[in-house]
């Protein structure tokens, strides 16, 4: 399995204009934080990033 490069959820979503509504209010910020937690959990569960920071 190929390791992935770490990118935060907000950086990933900001690059896609269709998600700009998530950055307009407090509820969106909470949702992005929840998505980041889910992503972090999946990365840890499946060992997608090496201890060296994705190298």
Work out the end-to-end distance of the chain between its first and last CA atoms, rounded to an integer number of angstroms.
13
pLDDT digits (tens, 9 = 90+) for 1-55: 666 678 899 999 999 999 999 999 899 999 999 999 999 999 899 888 776 554 4
Structure-token pair, residue 13: 């979503």
How far apart are alpha carbons 52 and 43 in whole angstroms? 14
Non-local (6+) Cβ contacts of 36 within 8 A are: 8, 9, 10
């Amino acid at each position: 399995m190929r390791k992935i490069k770490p990118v935060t959820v907000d950086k990933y979503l900001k690059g896609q204009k269709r998600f700009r509504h998530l950055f307009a209010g407090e509820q969106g910020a909470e949702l992005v934080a929840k998505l980041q937690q889910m992503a972090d959990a999946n990365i840890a569960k499946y060992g997608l990033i090496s201890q060296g920071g994705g190298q």
